[in-house]
C-alpha cells in the first residue's frame, strides 16, 4: 500500500496584528493574535473544512497559507517547499499550483474586464507563450465545465447573478489546473438553492480533476456536505478536528456541540433531542485580551476552575480526532446534522 505524502503541511502557524489601543501616540502596540499555533496536513484530493464564528481566524489562516499576510511565524510546506522562504518570482511560480476563491463573488471580479479577460488572466500571466487562440480555447472549455455558456464570454460581471459570478471565480481558479483551491466562504453570499448548485459543482470538479480543497464556512451543515475532515476554530485556536461524519455525529468539544445545536432543522421535535448545551451568555471575547487557560471557558456550559487556569493541549483521540478540552464528552450523538 502506497502512503501518500501531504500536499500541504502547516506547522505551528501563528498570525498576529500589531494594534495601538489609544492611537498612534499611545506607546508600543499590542499584538492581536488572530491564529494561534495551528498545525495540520492536507492530502491530494482531500477537502478540509474549517468552521467557526466570525472573528475566529478562518480567513486569516487562509491568507497566511497563501502568503498574503505579514507578521507570521511557523511553517507552511507546499509540495516539500517552505513557502515562507520563497519570494518574488520563486513564490509566483508556486502560486500557480494553488488558487483561492473569495467570499463576495461580485466584489472579487474586476468590473472593467469581460468574462474572457477575467478567466484567462492567470493564463496570460503564468504562460505568456500561449497564443491568443489557445487562451480562448482553454477559457471556453473552462466556462463549459462550470456551467457558463460560450456566448457569455464577452459580458461583464454586472450582467451576471451572484451564483454565475461565483462560477466565474471558480473557472478563474481552475484555469491553471491547480492542485489546491482555498475556498473562503464561497457560498455565504448566495441563496440556499444557489449554494447547493455551487457546492455540487465544486464536488464534481474535484472528482474530475483531483484538486484538494480547503473550504471555509460558518454553516456546519454546509461544511459536512463537502468535507472529508473538519477543523473547528475559536479565537484562532483549534478546538476539535476529526473526520467529517465522526465530528458531526459524535462531537466531543462543547463548542462543536454548541455549533451543532445552532444548525436549524425542519423538525422542531428533533431539535429538542440533541442534548447539547448552547453557548453561554456573552459575546465572543476580544482577541486583544483572550481569556486565560482555555479560551472558550468564559462561554462553556461545562467549564470548571481548572479550565480558567490551564490551556488544554490538542490531544489525539479515537478516529484521528484531536480535541482541545480538559473534559471532552465522548458519549453524545448528533445524527440530526444533515447535508
**Res 194: pLDDT:** 85
Task: State which residues form the domain around 252.
Answer: 8-88+180-191+210-323
CA torsion through residues 271, 276, 277, 278, sign: negative
Residues 173/99, Cβ–Cβ less than 8 Å:
yes
Would you state the cell numbers that stand for residue 332, as one nine-digit string?
453524545
**Res 219: pLDDT:** 84
256 φ, ψ to 5°? -60, -45
Would you state the cell numbers that stand for residue 191, as one nine-digit string?
441563496
**Res 231: pLDDT:** 96
Q: Which residues, 6+ apart, have CB-to-CB distance to 99 below 8 Å?
A: 122, 172, 173, 174, 176, 178, 180, 181, 182
Domain count along the chain = 1
Say which CATH number the domain at 226 has. 3.40.50.300
Alpha helix segments (H runs only) across 16-74 = 58-65
Any domain includes 1:
no
Any domain includes 299:
yes
Q: Residue 68 carries which DSSP code?
A: -
Q: What is the pLDDT of residues 232-245, one digit of tens each?
A: 999 999 999 999 99
Any domain includes 276:
yes
Of 169, 179, 113, 106, nearest to 142 by C-alpha is 169
213 φ, ψ to 5°? -130, 140
**Res 282: pLDDT:** 62
pLDDT in tens, the chain (339 residues): 346 789 999 999 999 998 877 666 667 788 889 999 999 999 999 999 999 988 899 999 999 999 998 889 999 999 999 999 998 899 988 989 999 998 888 888 999 999 999 999 999 999 999 999 999 999 999 999 999 999 999 999 999 998 899 999 999 999 999 999 999 988 887 888 888 888 999 999 999 999 999 999 988 888 998 999 999 999 999 999 999 999 999 999 999 998 888 776 655 555 455 556 666 556 778 888 889 999 999 999 888 999 999 999 988 766 689 999 998 876 555 545 544
pTM: 0.89
Any domain includes 313:
yes
**Res 339: pLDDT:** 45
Any domain includes 259:
yes
**Res 10: pLDDT:** 96
Any domain includes 151:
no
Any domain includes 98:
no
Of 227, 265, 237, nearest to 325 by C-alpha is 237
Q: HSE-up of 117 (CA within 13 Å, CB side)?
A: 10
**Res 263: pLDDT:** 72
Q: Which residues pair with 46 in a beta bridge?
A: none
Burial code (b: 16+ CB inside 10 Å, e: under 16) for 85-124 equals ebeeeeeeeebbebbbbbbbbbebbeeeebbbebbbbbbe
Any domain includes 69:
yes
**Res 4: pLDDT:** 78
Which whole-number Å values give the CA distances from 107 to 61, 68, 149, 162, 189, in the listed order? 21, 18, 22, 10, 11
Distance CA 209, CA 38 (A): 28
Q: What is the pLDDT of residues 67-82, one digit of tens each?
A: 998 889 999 999 999 9
Amino acid at each position: 500500500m502506497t502512503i501518500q505524502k501531504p500536499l500541504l503541511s502547516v506547522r505551528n502557524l501563528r498570525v498576529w496584528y500589531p494594534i495601538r489601543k489609544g492611537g498612534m501616540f499611545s506607546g508600543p502596540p499590542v499584538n492581536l493574535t488572530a491564529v494561534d499555533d495551528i498545525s495540520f496536513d492536507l492530502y491530494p484530493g482531500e477537502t478540509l473544512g474549517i468552521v467557526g464564528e466570525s472573528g475566529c481566524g478562518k480567513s486569516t489562516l487562509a491568507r497566511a497559507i497563501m502568503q498574503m499576510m505579514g507578521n507570521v511565524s511557523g511553517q507552511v510546506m507546499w509540495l516539500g517547499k517552505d513557502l515562507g522562504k520563497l519570494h518574488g518570482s520563486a513564490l509566483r511560480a508556486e502560486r500557480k499550483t494553488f488558487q483561492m476563491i473569495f467570499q463576495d463573488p461580485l466584489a472579487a471580479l474586476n468590473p472593467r474586464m469581460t468574462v474572457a479577460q477575467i478567466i484567462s488572466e492567470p493564463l496570460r500571466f503564468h504562460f505568456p507563450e500561449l497564443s491568443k487562440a489557445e487562451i480562448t480555447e482553454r477559457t471556453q472549455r473552462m466556462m463549459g465545465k462550470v456551467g457558463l455558456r460560450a456566448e457569455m464570454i464577452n459580458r461583464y460581471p454586472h450582467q451576471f447573478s451572484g451564483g454565475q459570478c461565483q462560477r466565474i471565480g471558480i473557472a478563474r481558479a481552475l484555469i491553471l489546473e491547480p492542485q489546491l483551491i482555498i475556498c473562503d466562504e464561497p457560498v455565504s453570499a448566495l441563496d440556499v438553492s444557489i449554494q447547493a448548485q455551487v457546492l455540487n459543482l465544486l464536488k464534481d470538479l474535484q472528482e474530475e480533476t483531483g484538486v484538494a480543497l480547503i473550504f471555509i464556512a460558518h454553516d456546519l451543515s454546509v461544511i459536512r456536505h463537502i468535507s472529508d475532515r473538519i477543523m473547528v476554530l475559536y479565537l484562532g485556536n483549534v478546538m476539535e478536528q476529526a473526520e467529517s461524519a465522526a465530528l458531526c455525529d459524535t462531537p466531543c468539544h462543547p463548542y462543536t456541540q454548541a455549533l451543532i445545536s445552532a444548525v436549524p432543522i425542519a423538525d422542531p421535535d428533533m431539535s429538542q433531542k440533541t442534548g447539547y448545551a448552547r453557548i453561554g451568555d456573552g459575546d465572543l471575547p476580544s482577541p486583544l485580551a483572550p481569556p486565560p487557560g482555555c479560551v472558550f471557558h468564559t462561554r462553556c456550559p461545562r467549564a470548571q476552575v481548572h479550565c480558567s487556569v490551564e490551556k488544554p493541549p490538542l490531544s489525539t483521540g479515537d478516529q484521528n480526532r484531536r480535541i482541545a478540552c480538559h473534559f471532552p464528552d465522548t458519549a453524545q450523538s448528533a445524527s440530526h446534522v444533515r447535508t
